[in-house]
Structure 1
Amino acid sequence: NSNVPKIARKLFKHNITRGRSLVAKAIIDAQNESPRFTPVYAALISIINSKFPQIGQLICKRVISSLRNAYMADENEECFAMTKLLAHLINQRVVIPQELVSVFAKLDNLLYEPSLNKHTQDMIQVLFTVRRDGFETYPSIQSDLDLIDTNDQYTHMLELLDLCDPEKHLRKTNTQFN
């Protein structure tokens, strides 16, 4: 049984809006160090996002920014970790899977290519069938990590190729509030 809700409740006892940069950094760093727990971190982000969408959006922006930077620097491990986290954020409905729509549109166009062999056409048709059935045979979220009711979710629309501001200015400490 997941202890993610308990962790979220403890987090919510603090002013995480004011410390949103620290929360985002801590979760992303922890996931980067332990990618096998990515589904758990994504579930935690989903809970945070349902109560504080601005924090969820900040985390998403930083994941996309880190992914882009890791890709450009050819840092394969971090690139894989950020890709995995982004995929789980899509599964948790924190980010809209815009890219998935684009991929299926391209596959649809490929179906009508005369040079495409029969086996490939059949595989593409299978993908469309799986998608039409809502990916039921491929559950994207473990049942014990599906913690947010659909009505309570807030989903962000961020494009992977768009430049998004990771809000680095939030990382500076404000000595006035010490």
Structure 2
Amino acid sequence: MASISSAVAFDDSCVSTPHPQKRREDIEHEEFEWIAMKKRITGLVKRVSISNIRFIADEILKENVISGRGLFCQAIMKSQMGFPQFSNVYAALVAIINSRFPDVGLLLVKRVVAQFKEAYEWGNKKLKRDTLKFLAHLANQTVVYEVLAVDILMLLLGNPSLDNIEVAVNFCIECGSLLQNSVPHIWKEVLGEFRRRKREVEMHVKGLIVKLFAVGRSKFKKYPSVIDELDLVEVEDQVTHVVSLLHDTDPEYSVDNFEVNTEFDDMSSQIMVPCEESEDDEASS
């Protein structure tokens, strides 16, 4: 009996040993694939336009979007800040991806909200204006509920500096059609606030307010929520997120970085390699 316990206790050939060289190669390969995916997603987002948006969305969906959700958010936000005039196109692309992978759309909204909060705290008018242009179209695309737009207007008009009023007017021009139809009572209050502030602001802001009133009277004919070419997600496939300025949101910046996939290593380390029983073991047994 002692020989049996001795054999089991000291037969190291039955236990798997790690393969440092193989593991290192696997890590290098995973990192290479991560970098390649980042380049592909960034390149696709840079190329998106009204004419190719369906193709670009399909190509992005071929990637590991959940694993690369941080990369997608980075690429979208960088491109939108570079070309804010195409915010409606970027928002439409997000809406398509969001309809398939809501976690990706939610993370994007959280990050854009975090960016607006930072711009507001820093008093950066351009960053506020461009970020809100994107948020307006994300609301227009029903990626986020209009309660976020209401929160933003309450914040800006509750602190009516010249910059805040100007940014708020521009924001309303972008998503006023949505607000006019979805929350008409709040929309009337917003217009009333602009009307009261019109006497206090400089001429260029006063001109923007006059423009907003004119656009509103025309039922936002020249500023629709979503143009036909970008109305690409069926109503039953739309996923709309509840995000508010009143709540702290985690932008999860850690997912932007490459991390080693340890799932396989954890499993393999628990596997025992079967050892062949020798004739001496059989005899002692």
1:107 aligns with 2:175: no
Measured at CA, do residues 77 and 136 of structure 1 come closer, stay the same or move farther in structure 2, by a change above 3 Å? closer
Q: In structure 2, what is the Cα distance between the partners aligned to 1:166 and 1:94? A: 16
Note the residue ranges of structure 2 that are not aligned, 5 or more in a row.
1-49, 151-178, 197-212, 263-285
Question: Does 2:122 correspond to 1:40?
Answer: no
TM-score by length of 2: 0.50
Once the two structures are TM-superposed, the CA of residue 29 in structure 1 deviates from its matched residue by: 0.8
Counterpart of 2:228 in structure 1 is 143
| Aligned counterparts of 2:60 and 2:252: Cα–Cα separation in 1 | 21
- Tell me by how many angstroms 1:15 deviates: 0.5
Q: C-alpha separation between the residues in 2 aligned to 1:27 and 1:160? A: 21
Partner secondary structure for residue 43 of structure 1? helix
Match runs of 1:83-122 below 5 Å: 83-98=132-147, 99=150, 101=183, 104=186, 107=189
In the alignment, does 2:163 pair up with 1:78?
Answer: no
1:14-62 superposed Cα distances (whole Å, 9 cap, x missing partner): 1011000000111011101110111100000000100000000000000
1:151-162 residue pairs with structure 2 within 5 A? 151-162=236-247
Q: How many residues align?
A: 157
* Unpaired segments ≥5 residues, structure 1: 111-115, 117-126
Q: Which residue of 1 aligns with 2:39?
A: none
2:145 partner SS? coil
For the pair 1:62 / 2:62, whether they are aligned, the reply is no
Distance 1:105 1:92, change over 3 A: closer
Identical-pair percentage: 38
Match of 1:113 in 2: none
Please report the RMSD computed on the Cα atoms of aligned residues, expressed in angstroms.
Answer: 2.6
Deviation at 1:139, TM superposition (A): 1.8
Q: Is this contact kept in 1: 2:68–2:256, CA < 8 A?
A: no
Q: Is the 8 A contact 1:2 1:145 kept in 2?
A: no
CA distance in 2, matches of 1:26, 1:161: 27
**Cα separation, 1, equivalents of 2:185 and 2:258:** 42
Distance 1:14 1:136, change over 3 A: same
* d(CA) in 2 for partners of 1:37, 1:169: 28
Letter of the aligned partner of 1:145 in structure 2?
L
- Rounded to whole Å, the distance in 2 between the matches of 1:141 and 1:175 is 41
Q: What amino acid is aligned across from residue 25 of structure 1 in structure 2? A: Q
Aligned partner of 1:171 in structure 2 is 256
Tell me: higher relative CO, structure 1 or 2? Use CA pairs within 8 A at least 6 residues apart. Answer: 1
Spell out the pairing of 1:4-15 with structure 2 (5 A cutoff). Answer: 4-15=53-64
CA contact (8 A) 1:57 1:156 kept: yes
2:51 equivalent in structure 1: 2
Asked if the contact 1:17–1:52 (Cα under 8 Å) also holds between the matched residues in 2, the reply is: yes
Q: TM-score, normalised by structure 1?
A: 0.78
Runs of 4+ in 1 over 6 A off after TM superposition: none
For 1:157, what is the secondary structure of its paired residue? Answer: coil
More helix by share: 2
Secondary structure of 2:248 counterpart: coil
- CA apart distance, 1:90: 0.4
Task: Give 2:99's aligned residue.
Answer: 50
